[in-house]
């Protein structure tokens, strides 16, 4: 995923947390902020409770791969943050994809 598709700065993260709506399931929490732009932007957060740095980076890679697969279905005019809950550590790529798809449908980010 290119850098233009990422929420990078702390200021952007805080804006989405404060002004956005949240949606959750057992594995993920998603904060969504509608915006006027040509494509979506996403921020990822995987906390230390998930595991060591190697495990957290593995989870982030799997989430990014899932988002890349879903890219044509994602609403372009949103910024959103995906927060992984600690129970995600034991999930396979397929489970991550299905749980992420579920929470993004709840948030009406994908159709």
**pTM score over 0.85:** yes
Q: What is the mean pLDDT of the chain?
A: 91
pLDDT (tens digit per residue) in 27-70: 999 999 998 888 889 999 999 999 999 999 999 999 999 999 99
CB 28 within 8 A of CB 85: yes
Q: At what angle do helices 93-106 and 53-70 cross, to 10 degrees?
A: 60
Residue 110 Cα to chain centre, angstroms: 12
Backbone angles phi, psi at 98, to 5 degrees: -65, -40
78-100 tens-digit pLDDT = 999 999 999 999 999 999 999 99
Reading the block at residue 91, the tokens are 């999930």
Percent of the chain with pLDDT over 90: 77
Q: How far apart are CA 111 and CA 104, in angstroms?
A: 9
């Amino acid at each position: 995923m290119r850098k233009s598709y990422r929420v990078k700065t702390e200021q952007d993260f805080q804006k989405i947390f404060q002004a956005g709506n949240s949606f959750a399931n057992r594995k993920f929490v998603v904060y969504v902020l509608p915006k006027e732009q040509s494509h979506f932007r996403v921020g990822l957060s995987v906390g230390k409770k998930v595991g060591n740095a190697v495990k957290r980076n593995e989870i982030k890679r799997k989430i990014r791969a899932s988002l890349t697969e879903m890219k044509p279905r994602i609403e372009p005019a949103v910024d959103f943050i995906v927060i992984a809950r600690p129970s995600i550590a034991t999930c396979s790529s397929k489970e991550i994809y299905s749980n992420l798809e579920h929470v993004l449908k709840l948030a009406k980010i994908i159709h």
